[in-house]
Structures are given as C-alpha cells and as structure tokens.
Chains A and B, each alone.
Chain A
Amino acid sequence: MDTSGLNFILQAAFWVTVALTIAGASIAVFPRNILYNVLGLALALTGIAGFYLYLGSLFVAMMQLLIYVGAICIAIVFAIMLSRPLHIEVPPRPARKVWMGILASVVFFIGAVGVALKTKWQVAAGHVYEASKWSVQSIGDALLTRYELVFEVISLVLLVAIIGAVITAGFSRRLSS
C-alpha cells in the first residue's frame, strides 16, 4: 500500500517533468523575443536533468545543471545583454519556408517514433541494475583508464575553443574599428 502511493507520486512527478521539458522546448523555439528563448532553454535543460535523475545518474544530472544551465545559458544571456542590438527583431521567414520546416520536422518525428516503437531492443547479456555500477567512483575510474585519451583530447579541444573564441571576438573588433 505504502509503496504504491510512493510509486504514484513518482509517476506524477515524472509526467510533470515531461510537461515542463516540452513546454520549455516550445518556449525555446517559438517566441520571437530572444530572451524568452534562453529562459525556455534553461527550463528544458532543467527538465532533462530531472530525467537523468529518473534514469539513475545523480552525477550526470548535476553536471547537466552545472554546465548547461549554469554555464551555457548564462553565456548566451551575457552575449545578448552585452551587445545590445542582438535582440533586434529579424523579419520572419516567408510562410512557404516555415511550412517546409514544419513538414520536415514532423516527418522526422514520425520516423523516429516509428523506429523506436517497431524495433525489438536487445537487452545485453550482463544487464543488471546495480547501484554500485552507477557510482561516481566508477565513472572516475573509467575516465582515467579506458577513456583517458578521449578525456585529454576533450581538454585540448576546450583549450583551443577558449583561445579561438578570444581571438575571433577580439580581432574582429580591431579590424572593424
């Protein structure tokens, strides 16, 4: 009796998270004010962090909040606010192109849902849900043993991206002024 009540609450919270995520994604795409888009993106990313909690990984959920909501959204807000004219309205696309875009994304959605429902997913042989396999310690072990090369290359990519961003934004100012 007690567990069924708990399950009901968990299910209700799951569907609330689904509704928040979809609403955030819609706000991120449809309004024409760019600040609303950023706020909707933050809402959708928070909902996705909630999904990661449901999928059993607290660490990845925290990283999602930290990197996406805390860093990328704030960077976009800074870019909008520091350079005043970025939120100037752009005239909308012609209606024919909008309809073609809607058609393309609806076709993709139907195709992806069809693939997801029709495929018989094969569960791998050793698949058991154990909490110990999901710990932060096992992620750290994997990052420093099996995936170490990828880890180092990612850090190199981030370094190059930082230098490239500084040079791109700085040199263009020198050229234009």
Chain B
Amino acid sequence: MNSLSTYLIISALLFSLGLLGILQRRNLIGMLISVELLLNAANLNFMAYNRFLVSDPVTGQVITLFVMGLAAAEAAIGLSIILALYRKMHSINIEAAQKMKG
C-alpha cells in the first residue's frame, strides 16, 4: 500500500506527541495516557517493519501482542498507584509527591 517511511513518520509524530505530553502535563492520569501513546507508536513501528522488511511476518505480530499485554499490566498498576497516591496526599499533582526528597 503505502511506503515504509510513511508509517515511520506517522509513528514518530505520535511518539513526539506522547513525549510532549509526558514532559508538559502535571496530571498523573494525563501522563499515563501519554505513555499509552508512546507504546502504540512503538507498536506501529514493529508492524510496519514486519510488513515491509521481514521474511517471517509472525515475529512482529507476536511482539506487538506482548507489548499490548505489558501495557495492560502497566495501566492496571499505574492506576492503582495513582489512587493510592491520591489517598495519601489528596492531590494528583506530581510535584506534590516529594516526600522522599532529602
């Protein structure tokens, strides 16, 4: 269909939007959403290489499935940590979480 570099540019754009989100938000759930965007950009790269370059197309799909599983685990753990942190310090502004600062 389209060339490999089209997909690579799209995923680079998605990754840099997610990076901007992580660097610029202070809401913890916003940062979690940005992490999901980063993981999806990486997945899109895997699938594009898988379609255009590789001789055995199973590998990229399996890796994409594994990344999805890990992202699900990461979202569950991240949300529960955010809830625990909110109960502890009554705010989800990450700059309030500095109890371990010396």
Contact = CB atoms under 8 A, between A and B. Distances in A.
Contacts of A143: 62, 65
B100 interface: no
A173 B87 CA distance: 7
A154 B66 CA distance: 7
Contacts of B97: none
Interface string A94-128: 00011011101110110011001100011111110
Contacts of A138: 58
A147 B47 CA distance: 17
B73 A158 contact: yes
Interface SS of B by simple majority: helix
Contacts of A154: 66, 69-70
Interface SS of A by simple majority: helix
B98 interface: no
Interface string B62-76: 101110111111111
Given A51-B10, A108-B16, A85 B86 contact: yes
Interface residues of B, number: 73
Contacts of A12: none
A71 B72 contact: yes
A162 interface: yes
A57 B61 contact: yes
Interface in B1-57: 1-2, 4-5, 7-10, 12-21, 23-27, 29-30, 32-34, 36-37, 40, 43-44, 47-48, 50-57
Interface string A154-173: 10011011101110110111
Contact of B36 (A41, A97, A157): A41
A172 B84 CA distance: 6
Q: Which 3 A-B pairs have the closest CB atoms?
A: A101-B23, A126-B55, A172-B84
Interface of B: 1-2, 4-5, 7-10, 12-21, 23-27, 29-30, 32-34, 36-37, 40, 43-44, 47-48, 50-59, 61-62, 64-66, 68-77, 79-84, 86-88, 90-93
Given A29-B18, A97-B24, A164-B77, 12 more contacts: A21-B10, A56-B51, A60-B64, A68-B68, A72-B71, A79-B83, A90-B26, A92-B26, A105-B16, A158-B72, A161-B77, A172-B88
